[in-house]
Amino acid sequence: MYGSSYHFSDVNNFVKENFEGVFDSKNKTVTIQETGPTTFHVPPDCIPCIKRYTLAFAQSKDSQTLRGDWGGRMMNSQVSCPPGKIILTKEASSIFNEIKVDTGNLRLDFYDNAEIDGDTISVSVDNQMAVSHQRLSAKPITVNIRIDFVKTDHEVVMIAENEGAIPPNTALLIVTAGDKRYRLFLSSDVDQKKVLVRFIYEKPK
């Protein structure tokens, strides 16, 4: 397998790297080795980490999960990166996630999550079209949402208008809610064209 990985702290600080991987069907493990950055924008005192992931695959009725550890080295050196753990989950339901927020304004930034291959999306907010047939790229498609404090649930639907040159249609969604940020990886195809994210407002304590 091969593809691209993204490391984001926010919309202005990110690293995109290529990777190669192998799936061991007998042990149900995935080993992924990043091969180096293709583009990055980080502070001067930061150095991208080239990571290696060892992940265990598990599947249930409602989801698929990759869970494991990473290690690696700093770019252009043999200095080790701080190790870490990672969990990736793909839900079977069309509802990708529910996020509780305590702010009146949300910023949604949609990026292509893999090779920029012509993926096109539309986005609706509470059944009102906010984005129509726009192409995903390394530059974000931005949607701003004003929270209604009376109607506390707000639904955002990403619609895959095509699958680009490399199926499926994949997007990275970065949600900025006040001083909090969330990263969601959205995937849709010809069978499931819509992915839903529900935001629920809760008054700050």
In sign, the C-alpha dihedral spanning 90, 92, 94, 96 is negative
The tens digit of pLDDT for each residue in 71-114 reads: 999 999 999 999 999 988 766 545 567 889 999 899 999 987 65
The tens digit of pLDDT for each residue in 39-60 reads: 888 888 889 999 999 999 998 8
Neighbours of 180 (CB within 10 A): 12
More confident residue, 41 or 28: 28
Q: Locate the DSSP E strands across 25-104.
A: 29-41, 49-59, 63-74, 84-91, 95-101
Phi, psi of 153 (to 5 degrees): -105, 135
Of the candidates 82, 107, 87, 85, the residue with the CA atom closest to the CA atom of residue 11: 107
Write down all domains in the chain, each with its CATH number in brackets.
Answer: 2-91 (no CATH), 95-201 (2.60.40)
Identity at 87, one-letter amino acid code:
I
